[in-house]
Every structure is written in structure tokens, then in C-alpha cells.
Amino acid sequence: MKIMVAVKRVIDYNVKIRVKNDETGVETANVKMSMNPFDEIAIEEGVRLAEAGTAEELVAVSMGGDGTQETIRTALAMGADRGIHVASDEALEPLAVAKLLKALADKESPDLIILGKQAIDDDSNQTGQMLAALLGWSQGTFASKLEFDGGHVSVTREIDGGLETLRLAMPAVITTDLRLNTPRYASLPNIMKAKKKTIDQMSPEDLGVDVTPRLTTLKVVEPAKREAGVMVETVEELLDKLKNEAKVI
Amino acid sequence: MDFQLPEELSLLKDNVRKFVDAELIPIERDVCDGHKIKPEMRTMLEEKAQALGLWLFDVPVEHGGQGLGLLAKAVVWTELARTIALPTRAASIFGPLVSPILFHLNDQQKEHYLYPVIRGEKVSCFVQTEPDAGGDPGAMRTTAVRHGDEYVINGTKRFITNADASDFAQVFAATDREKGSRGGISAFLVDMDTPGIKLLRQQETMMDDRPWEIAFDDVRVPAENLIGEEGEGFKHAQNWISEGRVRHGARGIGVIERCLELGASYAKQRVTFGQPLADRQAVQWMLVDMYTELHQLRLMVHQAAWKADQGGDIRYESYMCKYFGDTKSFEAADRCMQIHGGLGLTTDLPIEKMWRDQRSFIITEGPTEILKMALARQVLREYG
């Protein structure tokens, strides 16, 4: 089985996000970037399948500016065999990314594509679903467990009030939930090995995909500051405030 | 000119940082019992260190280690210094402590003394300092006199870390007191069960170390246990002592960073007289000085390590890294403590431990004044 995993470079989850003064977006200059945590889980799952002998090849792909290579290199250090970087300085929207991934899937013919369920920067949660639709493949989103038998994969999904298990025919698109696995630290020897692994570079034009944004961002603003709470003396006072100040009852 | 860490080292840095944040900082006050790692903690953390691939990271490849270059080691030392979890002076969780002098043994000596250490079967101690010879080792009074196939060692040594747990010692003694450090000091491998070695007393200190004072009373050592040639005790020392000094600078980076993290976040939380500490210039300037010195130190350490990896002589850079790194990281711990007020003095926070460690480093392994003496000679040569 051949597995393709998509990884995204995002602002590190530890960074306190700042909105740019001109309200066009968030500040990314001098900000630490790293791999989207859900994508780390996707890579980890791929590496485990390779280690178990279920997968023969694991390809890590990503799209974006120059820094993207570093994120792909992280995936290689965790255990992916090779990487593909689609270089683009456009703001890539989920549909554009899904189209690029479809073009890569047509080229690479993987049996399974694993993605994080969403990226922690825009929280869109769309790419995996769009990709499955474009390819006409089965999809198992929010996976917390995968089991393979023959040409099928059973996907356990976390849904409201319990777990749901789907049995998908492959090829299929999987998106990962937090509890699928705990990603490993890339070990020092593997970091050194990753230096020698190849990352193919191509452009959206090479893949015949138009990535021109279809959405216009009007403005990006910080959430309203939370006011400090007040202590009320009596239940009457509380009711009065809820009625007349908060106007919720 | 490129000031970026190479891609693989920036990956390494991220990984060690994640490891420190996730595995060490949450338990940093519980790892040690006194100055030693608790056995159950050691087992657990050693397994994790092996999964990280950092086992024996500072041991050369030909001896089974990772053989990292100095810049890579500096990155690891820096990240590990962000936590007080691990002892600063003893064997850590990355494999046995291998004194670099052991790499210069002859093949027969390596069989008996280097490989067993790497395999974790033997422990050794470094025996150089004396009551009247520390940063000036040429003044040592312990003598080794040759009698036929043996040397006979007599003298007293002080501040010997781990003497009680050691199977053998690397002992420095004068074979020619006239020559002192210019060809008069020799190094020997001495089994600790040799008759005539006495552990006199163990000393309590404010640092992670309970060193011993030991006496050598007519201790007879086979001549084949001489390291290198007579009078060459310090011959190989220059390289690894320079590395050791860069290590101090690298540690300092990690300490200052942690102090900034703690200091800045507390300054934003703590309100006095209706205003957060972070709004007061007295506190802002402390943080700014730490921030600036962090930047200076990082550039100094990375440049020195890079130069050493290119095969350059970093003697003077290493003096500056140690003196600047130890003093500025101590000042950072001191400022961080001041920002925290009384809380900074408690053992709830790591600050007092960093403060004690960094203060002790200004004295040990090359006191600031001696480093400055050497630098003064150089600056007067270069610019005088």
C-alpha cells in the first residue's frame, strides 16, 4: 500500500497570535512556525503503518512558500520516505489545496491519503472532504482508529455521544482526530537521515491547477476583550443584572 | 554570511525543546533526590532519551556515540538548560559520563578504562584540583615519582566529584614541579581500590555536587597507567576544555530564556498598586537587558561552536563564552528572582535552583577572573 500524507505549515500552537495593525491578517513575521498538530498525527499514523509492514511507501506533501520545505523535512525526519513541495506564494484556500492534492493523487496513485482533520490556523475542516469528493473516493473523517483488511479500511470516528465505525473501500481519504495516536519525537539519527531524502518541487501550473483565491478577506480583528466579572450580593441583584444589563432573560 | 542554524539542527532544537516542555519541565522538582536523579526517574527518562536518539550524543561515533559537532551539542545543551530537572554536574540521562581525556588513551588502556565506562560498567572521577591549586593547576603539589615500573603518588586533592562512586580516577600529579603546567604535570589512571587512597571528607555545597577531599599516601601505580607521555598531562586538554567553556555559554542561553519566560509572564500577571509589574520601567528594563544579553550570548556561542566545527582555534572565544555566559545567566536568574519577589525564593519555582547553579559556575571550571587574565594577555598582544 502506498500512503500520501498532506502536512501544513502553520503558526506554532504555543505562539500568542497577534492581528496585524492594518487588519489584513495575523502577524507571521518573526513568528515560530511548525507542522499543524493534526498533520503530525497523520504522519505518525503513516509511519506506524509503514513500520507494521502495511504500507510500502509514505509520501509527505505540502504546498506554500519556501518555509514549507522545513515542514516537509520534519515529516521526513519522523519517517516519511520522500516529499513533494508545491511552491506557491498565493494564500491557498481549502478548495485550491484539495485540487492540488487531487492532481498529486492522480500522479502518485496512492491507496490512502491521510490529512489532519483541520489546520489550527484557519480551522476550516474542509480540505479532506473536498479532496474525497474531487477524487470520488470514500472518506473517513475524524478518525480515532484505523484497521485494515484486504482492500478495506475500518475507520472508528468520534461522533456526538459515542463512536461510529465505517468500513471503506480503498482508495480512501482519512482525516485524523486527536486520539488516533501520539506523534513521536523525530530522533536524532532520523533527523540526519532526513537530510538525504528527496523533496520534489513543482508549481500549481505544473499540476494544471488554478489556485487564484475565490474569497476576499474583508478584515481580521481580535476577539473582543473579556470584561472582568463582578460579584453580586443577592439573587435579586443577579436577576436584575441578567434582565436589564445582559438582557438574557 | 548566514546566521540561521542549519535545517537539521533547527529540527533537533525543536525536538529537544518539545521533549523538555512535555517530559521534563512538568516534573522538574521531582526528578532528583538531593543532587542525584531518583533511580526510577532515571530508568524512565533514559528510555525516553534513547527514543530521542540522544544516547551518548557527545561521544565520538567510533566509540559508539552520536559524534555530534560542537554546534549541535551546543543546541542540545541550550535546550536542556531550560529546566532544572537534570543535575548540572553529574551523569545525566543521555548515557554514562565519559571524560574526554579517556578518548586519548592507548588501545590497551581503552580496553580497561574507556570501553567499560561507555558500557556503563565502570565509573570514573577527575582528580586535579587541590587546596592550593585550582584555576592554577601548574601549582599542584601532589607528586608522582617513578620507581622502576611504578609511579608513587603522594598528595591531597579537593573538590573531587563522585570520588565515592568511582572505580578509577584520572589523577593529575606533578612529575616535575619546576616545570609546572609547562611539561611538569602528568596524568594517570588509578584504580580507586589501590592501597593508600583515602576518602577524607565529603563537602556540602550550594550546587548539584557533594565533592570529596581525598588523600594519596604512597599510592603505587603501574607505569603503563600513565596517560600519554610524562609531562603531557595537559596536552590534550585544550580542545575539550574549550568545548567545556562553550558548554557553559550554551547552558547560559537556555537559562536566560527560561528566566525571560518566567519573568515576562509573571510581570504581566502580578499587579502592585493597581498596575501590572510589566508596565513599570524598572521591570521592563530588567527584561530588556536579559533579552539583549540572550541575543549577544547566542551569537557568541553559535559562532564559537561553528568555528570549532570548521577546525578553528576557539580558545579566546571559549573564554568569552564562559565568562559572559555564566555571569549574564546568573544575572538573569537574579533579575528573574527579583521580579518574582518572595515567590522567587521558594522551591515551588525553579528560579532559586538556577540562581545557585549559575552562581557556582562563575567559580567552577574556570573562574571569571582567570578567564579575564588570559583574555587580558591576548587583548594586550592583539591591540597593544
What is the tens place of the pLDDT at every residue in B304-343? 999 999 999 999 999 999 999 999 999 999 999 999 999 9
B12:A188 CB<8 A? yes
CA triplet A6, A12, A18: central angle to 5 degrees?
125
Model confidence at B141: pLDDT above 80: yes
User: Distance between alpha carbon B30 and the CA centroid of its chain, in Å?
Assistant: 22
Average pLDDT rounded to a whole number, residues A151-173: 94
- CA dist A58 and B223 (Å) reads 59
Chain A residues in contact with B12 by the CB 8 A cut-off are: 188, 191
A188:B51 CB<8 A? no
Q: What is the dihedral of CA A9, A11, A13, A19, to 10 degrees?
A: -150
A185:B8 CB<8 A? no
Average pLDDT rounded to a whole number, residues B260-272: 97
Are the CB atoms for B304 and B314 separated by under 8 Å? yes
Are the CB atoms for A168 and A133 separated by under 8 Å? no
Of B7, B15, B53, the CB nearest to A189: B53
Catalytic residues of B: 365
Of A73, A184, A189, the CB nearest to B11: A73
Q: Which fold has domain B234-383?
A: Butyryl-CoA Dehydrogenase, subunit A; domain 3 (1.20.140)
pLDDT at B88: 87
Residue B58's nearest CA partner among B15, B102, B3, B25 is B102
Average pLDDT rounded to a whole number, residues A115-142: 96
User: At what angle are helices A37-51 and A68-78 packed, to 10 degrees?
Assistant: 40
pLDDT at B89: 78
pLDDT at B135: 85
Provide the number of CB pairs (under 8 Å) joining chain A to chain B: 44
pLDDT at B264: 98
Which amino acid is it at A177? D
Chain A residues in contact with B8 by the CB 8 A cut-off are: 73, 77, 191-192, 194-195
Average pLDDT rounded to a whole number, residues B243-257: 96
C-alpha cell at A95: 478548495
pLDDT at B197: 97
- CA dist A248 and B121 (Å) reads 72
Q: Is the preceding omega at residue A171 within 30 degrees of 0, hence cis?
A: yes
Q: What is the dihedral of CA B223, B228, B233, B234, to 10 degrees?
A: 180
Domain ranges of chain B: 7-98, 124-226, 234-383
- pLDDT tens sequence across B75-111: 999 999 999 999 887 667 999 888 888 999 999 999 9
- CA dist B229 and B222 (Å) reads 14
Are the CB atoms for A124 and A118 separated by under 8 Å? yes
Average pLDDT rounded to a whole number, residues A205-212: 96
Of B14, B19, B66, the CB nearest to A34: B14
Are the CB atoms for B16 and B79 separated by under 8 Å? yes
B11:A186 CB<8 A? yes
C-alpha cell at B83: 529546566
Model confidence at B238: pLDDT above 80: no
Q: Which fold has domain B7-98?
A: Butyryl-Coa Dehydrogenase, subunit A; domain 1 (1.10.540)
Half-sphere exposure of B5 (CA within 13 A, CB side): 22
- pLDDT tens sequence across A47-105: 999 999 999 999 999 999 989 999 999 999 999 999 999 999 988 999 999 999 999 99
Chain B residues in contact with A185 by the CB 8 A cut-off are: 15, 18-19, 51-52
Of B7, B18, B53, the CB nearest to A188: B53
DSSP-assigned beta bridge partners for residue B226: B188
A194:B57 CB<8 A? no
ipTM: 0.79
Are the CB atoms for B160 and B190 separated by under 8 Å? no
C-alpha cell at A248: 438574557
Are the CB atoms for A49 and A158 separated by under 8 Å? no
Mean pLDDT of chain A: 94
pLDDT at A230: 85
Q: How near does any CA of chain A get to the CA of B305, in Å?
A: 19
Q: Which fold has domain A2-224?
A: Rossmann fold (3.40.50)
DSSP-assigned beta bridge partners for residue B156: B215
Model confidence at B239: pLDDT above 80: no
pLDDT at B1: 82
- pLDDT tens sequence across B168-219: 999 999 999 999 889 999 999 999 999 999 999 999 999 989 999 999 999 9
- pLDDT tens sequence across A182-204: 999 899 889 999 999 999 999 99
Q: How near does any CA of chain A get to the CA of B133, in Å?
A: 40
CA distances from B11 to A70, A189, B251 (A): 8, 12, 19
Are the CB atoms for B201 and B252 separated by under 8 Å? no
Half-sphere exposure of A188 (CA within 13 A, CB side): 24
- CA dist B243 and B70 (Å) reads 7
pLDDT at B181: 87
pLDDT at B91: 65
CA triplet B146, B148, B151: central angle to 5 degrees?
35
Determine the residue among A9, A182, A188, A193 to mutate to test chain B binding: the one whose Cβ has the most chain B Cβ atoms within 10 Å.
Answer: A188
- CA dist B264 and B286 (Å) reads 10
pLDDT at B164: 94
Model confidence at B237: pLDDT above 80: no
pLDDT at A225: 85
Identify the CATH homologous superfamily for domain B124-226: Butyryl-CoA Dehydrogenase, subunit A, domain 2 (2.40.110.10)
Q: Which residues of B sit within 8 Å Cβ distance of A?
A: 7-8, 10-12, 14-15, 18-19, 51-54, 57, 66, 68
Average pLDDT rounded to a whole number, residues B112-137: 93
Are the CB atoms for B144 and B138 separated by under 8 Å? no
Q: What percent of chain A has pLDDT over 90?
A: 86
Per-window interface: A 63-82 vs B, CB < 8 A: 69-70, 73-74, 77
Of A69, A185, A192, the CB nearest to B51: A185
* Count of all residues that appear for chain A in the document: 249
State the DSSP H helix or E strand holding residue A246, giving kind and residue range, or none if neither.
none
pLDDT at B309: 95
A70:B7 CB<8 A? yes
Average pLDDT rounded to a whole number, residues B137-147: 94
DSSP-assigned beta bridge partners for residue A93: none
Model confidence at A207: pLDDT above 90: yes
